[in-house]
Amino acid sequence: SRTLSLAVIPGDGIGPEVIAEAEKVLDRALSGSDISVTKERFSLGAARYLETGDVLTDDDLDAISSKDAILLGAVGGKPGDPRLKDANIERGLLLKLRFSLDHYVNLRPTRVYPGVPSPLSDAGDVDFVVVREGTEGPYVGNGGSIREGTDHEIANEVSVNTAYGVDRVVRFAFEKAQSRRRRLTLVHKTNVLVFSGSLWKRTVDAVGTEFPDVEVDYLHVDAATIFMVTDPARFDVIVTDNLFGDILTDLAGAISGGIGLAASGNLNPAGTFPSMFEPVHGSAPDIAGQQIADPTAAILSVALMLDHFSLTTQAAAVSKAVEADIAERTGAPRTTTEIGDAIVARLTGEALASEPRQEEN
């Protein structure tokens, strides 16, 4: 028997609504197994900040760091809310977790599921995964503003790319490609961002010699957005920097039939720190509290978590249950809870006992 300790951060807006469903699915997926989950809930996000002034205390960070994994809904308030101007929840909480826990791989799979109305009339067989670097790039916050607020202001953002950081994420991406369709696309903007672009390109070339059976391709990020719309089936594994990966994965969510389907794992592959699983979407203040958010992304993030713990049977059962649910999404719109319940109902003893498919995310 095995115990998994989990930090649950429901967060703001639709976060608690979708996490409630994700937890139900997790509990059901592990019921009848010899794995027990202990959960500790952390009230973090814009709501906590407005109440207490805390963004992420050292005590909370320590407690979260001691867990086996983190399940997070979404954090952040309504974009532009003046009360949150000084808090910077995104940097002080979400990015702080990703950076402190060394989540250098941000894994974001995309599939166009049969039956889902994609905005693309003929998407083809879309099944790719974006390996987004998670701890470097323009996200490091290594910039500043000179003469702020004057006509002579100069605002700089610095993108940090280290040989160590690029090598480890590129290596992960090659390994991922090798376990899939053996096709890796580096996405960057080497024609303009020449220094970091050169490091990424040289790293992919060098690591690629160790993976001779993986076919390597390169696209500038602007062109990558074209192909993601016109021919997304061409992609298998995309490796890219933190910011390009952020943008491409919202686009990927949209073409797959909605951001409510897009799951992600912030991975620390070595297991030194707990990995964190969360939907790609945010707190969606525009639809919060109405039970209309799609919990699928949060539920598929649970599947990624199960995979991370090598619980492949359970992970595959959750993915299959989601797939079956999605295939029948034609009737009247359902509430967040109804979707969660329908997916839980598909996780029968039989579904949980079957062999996993020979497939990976």
Closest CB 189 distance from Mn ion, rounded Å? 18
Q: Which amino acid is at 349?
A: G
Tell me which of Mn ion, ligand NAD, ligand IPM, none is bound by residue 95, counting a contact when its beta carbon lies within the kind-specific cut-off of 5 to 8 angstroms.
ligand IPM
Our separate counts of H helices and E strands in the chain read 13, 12
The CA distance from 285 to 282, in Å, is 9
Is 79 a binding residue for ligand NAD by CB under 6 A? The answer is yes
The CA distance from 24 to 15, in Å, is 14
Helices (H), 270-311: 296-308
Is 246 a binding residue for Mn ion by CB under 5 A? The answer is yes
Member of 10, 16, 22, 76 binding ligand NAD (CB under 6 A): 76
The DSSP letter of residue 132 is E
The CA distance from 38 to 75, in Å, is 22
132 vs 281, beta carbon nearer ligand NAD: 281
Q: Per-residue x/- mask for ligand IPM, residues 205 to 244, rule CB under 6 A?
A: ----------------------------------------
- Helix, strand, or coil (residue 225): helix
Q: Per-residue x/- mask for ligand IPM, residues 140 to 179, rule CB under 6 A?
A: ----------------------------------------
Tell me which of Mn ion, ligand IPM, ligand NAD, none is bound by residue 259, counting a contact when its beta carbon lies within the kind-specific cut-off of 5 to 8 angstroms.
ligand NAD
33: left (phi over 0), alpha (psi -120 to 50) or beta: beta
Tell me which of ligand NAD, Mn ion, ligand IPM, none is bound by residue 294, counting a contact when its beta carbon lies within the kind-specific cut-off of 5 to 8 angstroms.
ligand NAD
Short-list 150, 171, 152, 325, CA closest to 237: 171
The CA distance from 215 to 207, in Å, is 12
CA-angle at 99, arms to 4 and 271, nearest 5°: 35
Closest CB 74 distance from Mn ion, rounded Å? 10
Is 246 a binding residue for ligand IPM by CB under 6 A? The answer is yes
In the annotated binding site, the residues are 98, 108, 132, 222, 246, 250, 282-294
* Residues engaged in binding ligand IPM (CB under 6 A): 76, 90, 94-95, 246, 280, 282
In the annotated binding site for NAD(+), the residues are 282-294
